[in-house]
A and B are shown apart, each in its own frame.
Chain A
């Protein structure tokens, strides 16, 4: 186990700057998720930490060791690939034995003991002599996790580990990964484009954009207080309204939407008036019935309703643009209907 310290790391592929001067510290034993849309640099950063790509400039330190110029085979890292990369010509046990055999760790009896224990950890005892093609996708995924963990690497890297599973299995495996991590508390870096995966699994999420870190922090903190419109949109697809904010008496703030509607808003982070972005989470905007109140209420016209069982997604025209709402399925509205929607100021955010 070890911490990972990255300083001023840059990497370019031809004309594309994949990573621009990124610095980052990952504490010993932390579980960090690198998130962002494809092309944001998250996979490049993971490959640089593994050593499969070489940095153009900057340093990578694992524990006390500067590994920037050290070959991947000497870094003692566990890496799980999106495709699992299990060796098809080897049995499960041979696959698990491979890292120990390459690094000459443990004697043979200890190795087979560790293989048995690893298979128990991923709840697949008795499949040691099967070949990967004889396993289901979920089983292959678990074997890949076990293989990445078996030699007690300093750092565990997971590259889109659940993206090849169907939705139900993915939910199950997310919970299992959390369980497994509790038993093996190793420094872990997860790369994912799936926002729920990052929010569920990690202690800290790092949202990346165009080769830079856009925002880092605890999942709840980043979700509830996005620093930029990009983060607000990437995590949970928040409604973003361009407004012009100004203070009123008693240190309250009001803002004018593009259609001229005025709404109460929280104070901006820098305390200065002017153009800003009002962030309204889909789950925070409600349909306001007769006799109900809210801090901010605006007229709206229903554009579309999508029933989803546990909830319904509503698309309305309000504030001169389209707003998306997640509402309880018991609230019945129809397309074309004129309604009112509202939210509480404490749930909304004003950012630049």
Chain B
């Protein structure tokens, strides 16, 4: 089809896509360019070219602490979200139960959970029963945000797993936990790995929920970017942002690879 389209149409499609990509990528390009500035102000185009702001950020105690906090929160919420989401994916694809289609809809639509609503809900709960927010409350919020991603990636792979393999294991003498540990879950490895990466990213990138649930002692990388921008907008903000962009890109590409690999193998 595409090979037969008249050249004018093809040119129009090319121009259209190029314009769209420019629109999508322009903010990223501006941030990356600004981060490479040699000057002291956050401006575009950058003044001169250097990596000095990357060194500044990486050597700044406040950025280091923010990074550590972000990592702790992201690792903890990933550690909860992955087993919970995997169990959810198994329940949704393998078992029949009342209200399953509603559960499926809720689980599989991350966009049904607006971050801000989760944040406000948790804030109300935390101040009512826990006397205020804490790292644990933020982790709980991130777990809620990441679970749908894990359910999706694991569920997608699980759909392609021959249900007969579980039955075969059963007839060969494997009990419930053995069947899942030795036969079903190993076949979902790519989905679990992709889900892990996405869950980590959801938590690490989050600014909205943390903004609501922060305490004076909690500072994460996105929060630090936000507050630096308010109080001392130097190219270090752009450098930190660029590091986030790079990390997100790596995660997305890696999980795409993992999920695509499944189709090739399966």
Chain A positions within 8 Å of B, measured between CB atoms, are: 50-52, 72-79, 81-83, 85-89, 98-99, 102-103, 133, 147, 151
Contacts and interface: CB of A to CB of B under 8 A. Distances in A.
Given A76-B173, A88-B265, 5 more contacts: A74-B173, A85-B167, A89-B189, A102-B173, A103-B173
Contacts of A81: 164, 167-168
Q: Which 5 A-B pairs have the closest CB atoms?
A: A102-B173, A85-B164, A99-B172, A85-B168, A103-B173
Interface string B25-39: 000000000000000
Max count, chain B CB within 10 A of own CB: residue among A83, A133, A151: A83
B165 A85 contact: yes
B129 to A, nearest CB: 43
Contact of B169 (A51, A76, A78, A98): A98
B171 A52 contact: yes
Contacts of A102: 169, 172-174, 178
Nearest to B173: A102
Contacts of A76: 173
13 contacts: A51-B171, A52-B171, A73-B170, A73-B173, A73-B175, A78-B171, A86-B165, A87-B168, A88-B265, A98-B172, A103-B173, A147-B172, A151-B172
Contacts, number: 63
Contacts of A103: 172-173
Contacts of B165: 85-88
Interface string B171-207: 1111100100011001101000000000000000000
A99 B169 CA distance: 8
B265 A50 contact: no
Interface of B: 162, 164-165, 167-175, 178, 182-183, 186-187, 189, 265-266
B218 to A, nearest CB: 41
A146 to B, nearest CB: 13
Given A52-B167, A83-B162, A133-B265, A88 B172 contact: no
B171 A73 contact: yes
A89 B164 contact: no
Contacts of A51: 171
A133 B261 CA distance: 14
Contacts of B173: 73-74, 76, 99, 102-103, 151
Residue among A75, A83, A85, A99 with most chain B CB within 10 A = A85
A244 to B, nearest CB: 51
Nearest to A159: B164
B130 to A, nearest CB: 43
Contacts of B175: 73
A206 B11 CA distance: 67
B170 A52 contact: yes
Nearest to B165: A85
A86 B41 CA distance: 62
A214 B224 CA distance: 78
A77 B183 contact: no
A72 B171 contact: yes
Nearest to A104: B173
A78 B164 CA distance: 14
